[in-house]
Amino acid sequence: MDIRRISDFVWEIPRQGGMLVPGRIFASDALMESVLRDRATDQVANVAHLPGIVDSSLAMPDIHWGYGFPIGGVAATTVDDGVVSPGGVGFDICCGVRLIASRFTEADFNARRDDIMSQLDRRIPRGIGKGAIAPGALVPEVLHTGAAAALEGGYGWDGDLDRCEERGTSQGADRSAISEKAITRGKRQLGSLGAGNHFLEVQVVEEVLDDAAARAFGLASGMVVVMIHCGSRGLGHQTCTDQLQVMGDAMHRYGIEVPDRQLACVPVRSPEGEEYLGAMAAAANFGWANRHILAHEARAAFAAAFELSPEATGMDLVFDVAHNLAKIESHQVNGREMSLCVHRKGATRAFGPGHPDLPPDLQSSGQPVFVPGSMGTASWVLKGQKDNPAFGSAAHGAGRLMSRKKAKGRASGQEVRRQLEEAGISVRPGSVKLLSEEAPYAYKDVDEVADVCDRANLAAKVARLRPLGVVKG
């Protein structure tokens, strides 16, 4: 495949074959080497075949192979004559990251380390299958109003919704589009972390690079924070599975052909397209509520460990942002304002200063953007930039460098745990055996990913976070 470098951090796949637009990948030399080995460039080119796609098929610096779309893929299609594709969202609908500040320092954490980690270990359900904090009876209302339903149910604080993308509620949710099988799975998992790369991590703000933005976000050097990464669990996975079946059957009726069956799609303005968007929004609401409830329990864990009230912990929400969604948004394309269906699959929304969708207290700074690393490595807080070249999107993490099977073959879970503990990182795994799948060596260099985001104007660096303790599935 012909791939050309067009700037220091942008690579282009020119239009060829049935591609309707070029492909563009944001990467450094080092990151591009892993992209070429992964052949995720093939998926970038495949996405460029989607009817109604505009500008380019885009890939963030953490790009790697995914289902249909690459993980780290971004594509915008016209609402009037374009398509929506579940492969551009993924199975874990509304997977995302929530960051919570605190009044504690690293010294405070170290003084109560075992108590804090034991409280989190006991309170945070995780792993494959069952486990929940909230009752299943809350699920129907959660599907309708997301984190707002969780707040009404007694979880979280009143100000939390102000610091959530979409205020924690995806509009247009259609509960009737969620199957009974999906609902049954969700009722057993509302308020749970899951497995795989999902985590709850206690971190310290190691370095602040943008004082003004950090103050706006509520962050300060030396502050202990909690980062939560999870999504819509089995309910979201089942919803995507159900909708893919609908898409596969309908696509041929609309005369749509794509180079990969995993890119099954239908017109945005079709009965099937509207059903998918309604089902996706309902599943997304489960994801917003899931992180909201986990944050409530994390506050309770710290409060118990320090023998304080939850309010006295100062654990205010910095922000909550998703990285697996398709959303109807307005963007400029060739100087013209257009209504677009923006697919972000393993890519975070990153709106810049002055964007009308940001809360008033973040208008001057831009939206917080989170780029988590892997256990044992740093994570980054960035801020959205004006004139973002990717429909207001940025990377969502370090991005996998090797498969789970290959990672397990390199070291045992026990060995990975020992290395992390020796580095001063307390680990509370749901499964020690599976720790090796998520070892630091299985991921790309998160500092490099954050640097490319900054230099390519996707999102600017604000603060670097260092892990102190991690709860894993």
For 83, the 3-state DSSP assignment is strand
Q: Is 94 left (phi over 0), alpha (psi -120 to 50) or beta?
A: left
CA distance 25 to 417: 34
Q: Whose CA is closest to 27, among 1, 56, 61, 75?
A: 61
> Which residue ranges make up each domain of the chain?
4-401+443-472
229 assigned to active site? no
Does residue 24 contact residue 10 with C-beta atoms inside 8 Å? yes
Q: Please give the full DSSP string across 342-354, using - where no structure is assigned.
A: EEEESEEE---TT
- d(C-alpha 455, C-alpha 458), whole Å: 8
pTM above 0.75, yes or no: yes
Q: Given the DSSP bridges, would you call strands 199-208 and 459-472 parallel, antiparallel or unpaired?
A: antiparallel
Residues contacting 258, CB < 8 A, separation 6+: 46, 49, 50, 251, 264, 265
User: ∠ CA 461-465-471 to the nearest 5 degrees?
Assistant: 135
Tell me if residue 466 falls in helix, strand or coil.
strand
> Residue 143's pLDDT is what?
98
Instruction: Report angle CA 413, 39, 440 to the nearest 5 degrees.
Output: 25
Could you tell me if 143 and 302 are in contact, meaning their C-beta atoms sit under 8 angstroms apart? no
Residue 54 and residue 383: Cα distance in Å, rounded? 25
Fold of the domain built from segment(s) 4-401+443-472: tRNA-splicing ligase RtcB (3.90.1860)
Q: Which residue has the tokens 């044992």?
A: 376
- Angstrom distance (rounded) from CA 294 to CA 232: 12
Kindly tell me the burial class for residue 409, based on how many C-beta atoms sit within 10 Å of its own C-beta (0-12, 13-18, 19 or more): exposed
How close are the terminal C-alpha atoms of the chain, in Å?
38
Which of helix, strand or coil describes residue 250? helix
Q: Catalytic: which of 229, 296, 343, 396?
A: 396
- Per residue of the chain (473 residues), what is the pLDDT tens digit? 799 999 999 999 999 999 999 999 999 999 999 999 888 999 999 999 999 999 999 999 999 999 999 999 999 999 999 999 999 999 999 999 999 999 999 999 999 999 999 999 999 999 887 789 999 999 999 999 999 999 999 999 999 999 999 999 999 999 999 999 999 999 999 999 999 899 999 999 999 999 999 999 999 999 999 999 999 999 999 999 999 999 988 999 999 999 999 999 999 999 999 999 999 999 999 999 999 999 999 999 999 999 999 999 999 999 999 999 999 999 999 999 999 999 999 999 999 999 999 999 999 999 999 999 988 899 999 999 999 999 999 999 999 998 888 998 999 999 999 999 999 999 999 888 889 999 999 999 999 999 999 999 999 999 999 999 999 98
- Beta-bridge partner residues of 332: 337
CA 26 – CA 390 distance, rounded (Å): 10
CA angle 210, 215, 216 (to 5 degrees): 100
